[in-house]
Each structure stands twice: as C-alpha cells, then as structure tokens.
Amino acid sequence: MRKLWAPWRAEFILHVKKDECIFCAAPNRTDEEAYILYRGEHNFIILNIFPYNSGHLMIAPYSHKPSPEYLTSEEYNEMFELLQWSLRNLRSALRPDGFNIGFNVGRVAGAGYEGHLHMHVVPRWNGDTNFMPVLAETKVISVGMEKTYQLLKPLFTSKD
C-alpha cells in the first residue's frame, strides 16, 4: 500500500494516550486543539482526525456510553437534531452528492472506540471511490484538517 504524506495527523498521534477515551478527553481541550465544531448541552460535534473523506465529522454524547439504548431521551434527541444541522452545514460548505451516516457499536462492528458511542457523518462525492483505492490501495483526502476546520467552524456557531 502506498502512503500519502499527512502532516496534520502527527499532532493528534502525539497526543493520543492508549488508555484514554478521545471522546471523554476532547471536551477538556479547546475547540481548536480538538477540532470541536460545536458544543451542545448533551453532545458535541467534532471533526474526525482520521477522516474517510474531507468534512468527516462525528457527533458524540459527553457521557461515556457504549450503545444508543443507553442514551437518555435528551441525549438521543439532541444527537439527531445535531445530525440534521450538520447535514445542512456540510451541504452548504462542501456540496457533497450524498452521505454515509452511522454508528459502529462494538469492536466487531468496526468501532475504534467501542466504549463511547459516536455517530459518523461522512460526506460523499460521485467518483470519490475512483481508481486510487481500488488499484493503488490509496485514499486521497484533498482538503487538510486545518482548512476543513476553518471552513466549517463558522457554520457551527449558532443553530438559529
């Protein structure tokens, strides 16, 4: 597999502690350090620093819960309100052709952080799975983390 240079990822890798839940730790950092786009009452929106595509964000509750059935009604309702708002903001800023939205509950289902539920929202464009991943086993992320954050953050200042 070929590797693409992605220097913005080094800062995250150096800050990750193996015994630390990134979703519990992120709210204790500044928005800019953690790439937090919005802090709600029960959930927050954060960019995925290992994105599948540009604009890949996650919505996570502040509480450390492993699966949707453990969420309170308030946590659940706000999470899906933030999903709707995120979709509108991503459509406005990035003009994707579609989205992948979902949860990976449990390690067997692909959860990188299985103890802390989080919803993935991945913008998709026609052709974003072109020949590079198929033939070269390489995924190209065309917009860097800082630029993506700077583009999206102003859209997530107020839900009104």
Residues designated as active site: 118
46-52 long-range contacts (CB < 8 A, ≥24 apart) are 47/145, 47/148, 47/149, 47/152, 48/120, 49/8, 49/9, 49/12, 49/145, 50/9, 50/12, 51/122, 51/141, 51/145, 52/100, 52/120, 52/122, 52/139
What's the rounded Cα separation, in Å, for the pair 61 and 76?
9
Phi (first) and psi of residue 151, to 5 degrees: -70, -45
